[in-house]
Structure formats: C-alpha cells, structure tokens
Structure 1
Amino acid sequence: MGRDVSGADGPRDEDLEQVLDAFGTHLRAERNRSEHTVRAYRSDVRDLLTTVLPAGDDGSLDLGLLGLADLRAWQTAAAGDHRRSTLARRAAAVRTFTAWAHRTGRLGEDPGLRLQAPKRSRDLPRVLAQSQVRAALEPAVAARTDASPDPVELRDGALLELLYATGCRVAEVVGLDVGDVDAGHRQARVLGKGNRERVVPFGEPALRALEAWLDRGRPALAVTESGDALFLGRKGGRIDQRQVRTVVNRAVAAVPGAPHTSPHGLRHAAATHMLDGRADLRSVQELLGHATLSTTQIYTHVSVERLRSSHRQAHPRA
C-alpha cells in the first residue's frame, strides 16, 4: 500500500498512470508546455518510476522512496544509450517532475535539486551555403512561372521560401492560417514555443511564392475540412510536419554536394546567412523567437568558423 500524501487535492494513493496524468496536466496548464514536450517528459518519468520504484500490491506508488541515489543510478544506466542532448532532456524532465511532486506533497523533499545533467553538446550545425539554398529553391521559382502549375509544387515552393525567409520552426509554419499572413506588409504572425506570438518579416521571393500558392495552388486542394489552414496536404487537410520534412529533404537532396538537412536546417541557414550579412544578434534572436540570446549565439560561432575557413584558404600567410 502506498503512503498517503497530501497536496492541493488532499491525501491520495495513486498508481503510475494517475501520477503521470496529473503531471501531464501540470505541464500543460501551469508550465504551458507543448504536447511534444508533455509526451517526452511523461515518457522519461515513466521510465524512471518503472525502473526504480516497485508498485504496491494495489498498484500504488510510494514516491517517498524516491531519492537522489535512484535518480543518479537511472541517469548513469542510460548514459551509454542516448545522445547528450537526450540525456539533458531526461534530467530536465525528472527535475521538473520532482519539483512538482514536492510542491504537491507527493515528495517530502526534492531530490532533483541536486541532479546534474550533462552539458549539451555545442557542435556547430552543418549549414547550407547561400548558393545551395538558391539551387534548392530554383524548381519552386520555375513552378510559379508555369502556365499550368501543379498545385503541390506551388505549395512546396511557398513552404521552402517561407521557411528560409523567416527562419521559422516547422511547427510554426504548419500552424499558420491564411489570415496570419499580411501580404501588404510582407509579414506573418506565428505562434512559437510557450505560446509566444511574434511577427516575422519575409521578402519579395517569399511573397511571390505565397501569392502563387494562394491564387493558383490552394484553391485546387481546398475542401470543406481545410478551414483556414494556410498550407494543405494533397487531401485538403492542414499539412503536417512530416510532409514538410519530406519537401525539404527532397529539395536539398537534389542539390549536388549539399548536406542532408531538414526544415530546421533552413532555420540554421537563415540565421547564419543573416549574421554573415551583418545583421545584429538581437534582431536574429527576435526573428527566430529565441527566449534567450545565448541560444542564438551558436550562429555567431558558425559565422566565425566560416571566416576562419576563408582566411585559411585565401590568406597567403594563414
């Protein structure tokens, strides 16, 4: 029998699923986490609890048995099986869980306060060159000038142009509605992480691609269920992130010598090319929707490395 714990809802005995459901509700309602984060954190905490805490005869959990040694042992056991970024996320999930469990009376103390996570790797991302981006976008430009274009090609062109022009995350572009695009001012209103809304500008090429899609592409795919979604799949529903990744992968794979990339790769490219063009770091931070400037600073490292590479190749005494 698990021990009774007191919290906002009074004494309770809970099994694993009840604990995870309550934790998930906390993440959504109080921490404003995305469904992707909720699923990942729930999975991490499920793995922790099923590994280190035996359930009682009635299925209830005694969270009071959870200590720092258990957290460290669980973390160490996974060290060889996951990337550093995944280990860091697992540690963050557990720290968030133990803080919540302590606050709600499920834990007498918070062992997660002393749990350290491995530092995230700061490996520089492989970034598409500006010439490679132009080459990847050439078919999109050709589709717009076609007298009878394939609506899917118009959509793909608009997707590629907008992803690169704005540096938006794939989820932000997928979530756009038609009314979120202001063609007159060449800007779009996107909803980013933590439900933070921002306005991102885009240039003439993206505007032309969007106009071609809205005028000659979207009407051909739209159905009653399309609603206000800006980008549609072949069956008329809102396009999903997997389809967008396929679009980007296919376009970049057609460019000789280009590194394998994803929609996030176009985001990396947009940020790096802006800094190469002498944009200030704060402006790039605003464009990308980064909560902290330190997240944006990795792109300065990319630009500096490019400068060093050019110096080594071109300077006679490098």
Structure 2
Amino acid sequence: MTSTPRPIILTGDRTTGPLHLGHYAGSLRARVALQHEARQFLLLADTQAMTDNVGRHQKVTGNVLEVALDYLAVGIDPALSTIVVQSQVPELAELFQYLLNLVTVARLERNPTIKEEMRLRGFERDIPAGFLTYPVSQAADITAFKATHVPVGDDQLPMIEQTNELVRRFNHTVGQPVLVECEAVLSQVARLPGVDGRAKMSKSLGNAITLGATPDEITRAVNAMYTDPNHLRVNDPGQVEGNVVFAFLDAFEPDTAKVAELKAHYRRGGLGDTALKRMLDERLQALIAPIRERRAEFARDRAEVLGILRRGTMRAREAAAQTLSEVKGALGLRYFEG
C-alpha cells in the first residue's frame, strides 16, 4: 500500500524589519503547526527585499538574523523546518533567469499584486526591473523546492496564479512535467489592520506591534488603537466593523463566544473603549511575553542562530540543485555530462 507523500511547504518573509503581530496572525502560527505534518522551507527573502531597497541594503541584511530570531521565538523548530537565506542559494537565481524567458513585461504589469505594490511605493514608470520581475523570482523559489502548498494572504493569490502559469508553460515548452504546480493555503486572518486603522500593519508605517515588543510598547499601541470615532460615551451604541480592537480580538482571543458577547454589548451600548482596550492589552501581553522571552534567549547565542541558518541553507541548496539539474537537462543545457 502506497503512503500519501508529505506536502512540501514553501513560505517566508522579506527581511526589511522584525516580524510583527500581522505576520503572526497571518501565517506564523500556521507554520508552527504545519512543520509537524509537512516538509517545510522557510525563506528569508533578502534578495527579494533588495529590489525596492536600493541604497538601504544594510537594513535588509541586518534584519536576516532578526527575522530568524522571530521564527525561533514563535516555535519554528529547525529540526522540523528548513530555514533558508535566499541570497545564499545561487540555484534560485539561475532558475529565475530561465523562467524570465517565459513571461512578458505586459503580463507582469497586469499582476494585481505588483500594480498595488507599485502604487504604494509611488514607482509609476520608474519601477526597478528587479521589483517588476519579483513574481518570477518568487516562482523560482516555489518551484525550486517543488512546493505543493504555499501559505499566503489573499493579496498574494495573483502571485500563485502566475507561478502556476510559468510551471505550465515551462513543462509545455520542454514536453515533460519537470516543475510542479502549487496550491495556495489561505490563512484564517487574511490581513490584520494597523493600530491606526490602516488596511495593513507595517513596521515602516509605524502602526505595528513587533513580536519582541516590551509591555509598555504593547500598552501604548493598544491605547492608540482606532475604534469608533462616534462612540463618544460609554452608553452610546458602538460600531464593530472597522474597529481595530475587535479585529485584534478576532485574531488573538481564543474564546470566540466571549468575543461575540463583547461585540453584542458594544453594539447595544454600555461597553467603553477603555475597558475593551484593557481586555485586549491583557490578551496581547499574555501572548507576546513568552515569545519575547524565547527571543531574548536565542539572541544570547547569535553564533548558534547563524549555524542554524547555515545548515538549513545547505540542505535547501541540495534540494534546489536537484530541481535545477532537471530543468537544465530538459532545456539541453548539460553539455559536459555523460
């Protein structure tokens, strides 16, 4: 009887800053669970982060270790998950080069994720070529490890669609199934808003709570959270939709019945923002305290963390090299073998 093969997971983060609660709600918790049931690669995407950080490369490289510390602090086990530094796997860059020939500039410009990212960065027509082509780089990352599942937010679905387009086109071009299509795995919390009510939590926007935040930083962030500007008195009915405090309670309070009752109470009036924020502050303090403590413990031996990254990256290179060999064989690029 043939056993079902374990899924291969590829996920990761750009190394432009330490991770925050938006990352934790969106995918970090899922990654901790998935490592027990799948072969998981976690990519520290420093090469990709360089595409829109020209002249700020120290910001990118300096955060490689910081993001790795966040991974370890939330429970990623390097014995179960392979943590990979993207720039140290040259096979990814070579595969990226081959895949670039299978997509047009017009198709890249139509990618909804790229269009939105260009708008946010104000690139207009001065977009760096590396940034425009990063969906192809991401496709190379996914296909190099033959990932079958990729945890993403809903804003990243166009990237998965484009990856599978490239897989199909490559396989059709060479006439054999070398690369593997992948499936998006959506997180339960698609996107956590910033504390200021903006649509996305971001360290660069100053509206994030990092995983290493101190107790005072957590309290200040919660007290600053956007609620309902029309909820002026405790007895006034309040609006739950668009209320950041409730978005955080939905993401981090495991007692869903309690959250439902709080929402009902707020809507009918009689529940003040101060009391609501106090409850959320207690929940976040309890959540982040053990993460912060584990992070500090790992940070005391940074040499060992670098060792974890080195060993994981070498394992990843072996997997990527195997895929690249198959790709080059299918393209007839192995001139000196046999």
Please state which band the TM-score falls in when normalised by the shorter chain.
under 0.3
User: Using CA pairs below 8 Å that are at least 6 residues apart, which structure has the higher relative contact order?
Assistant: 2
Structure 1 or 2: more strand by fraction: 2
Tell me the TM-score normalised to structure 2 length. Answer: 0.26
Larger Cα-atom Rg:
1
